[in-house]
Amino acid sequence: MTPEERDVFIKQYAAGYDEVIDALNNFPAESLGAHPIPGKWSAREIVHHLGDSETTSAVRIRRLLCEEQPLIHGYDQDEFARRLRYNERDMAPALEAFRYARETTLQLLALMTEEDWQRAGTHTENGAYSAEDWLRIYTAHAHDHAAQIRRLRDGINT
């Protein structure tokens, strides 16, 4: 990945929180826990997932930067949603966790050297896992979930 390509990814990553906020605008508060699309998470569950996932991703990039050959652990996101009772909790703290984990990570991304971007470890589910792999994954993550929230909103409004 070239520095210019990374810059495009980082700009998109930086826009992820605002994209989620935009998707939540005009979402009926009483429907945040609704499941208008069978088998898919509610908007509230998505926000809790983003809070947990973003804090996990923040630790992952830090481990990639600070440890030699770190082992990056996968986790069962559906089990998190169930056992951490995503749909029973206020989502405001999760939204803030998502926001601030992303903001502090953006500070690091702005300071990373070419050598930092080449750092890598092993993901327990996916094998080789580099800082650039991390960037590709988490750049799209919030945008994908914002689109999912919009589909849920559309399902509620139809």
The sheet with strand 120-123 has its strands ordered as 71-72, 120-123, 127-130
Domain that holds residue 128: 3-157
Tokens of 64: 């990639």
The per-residue pLDDT for range 59-117, each reduced to its tens digit, is 999 999 999 999 999 999 999 999 999 999 999 999 999 999 999 999 999 999 999 99
Give me the CATH number covering residue 117. 1.20.120.450
pLDDT band at 158 (very low <50, low <70, confident <90, very high): low
Count: domains in the chain: 1
**What is the per-residue pLDDT for 86?**
96
CA distance 53 to 56: 5
DSSP-derived 3-state class of residue 102: helix
Residue 106: closest CA among 38, 11, 8: 11
pLDDT band at 156 (very low <50, low <70, confident <90, very high): confident
CA–CA distances in Å: residue 124 to residues 67, 70, 119: 16, 10, 17
The number of helices, as runs of H, and strands, as runs of E, in the chain is 7, 3
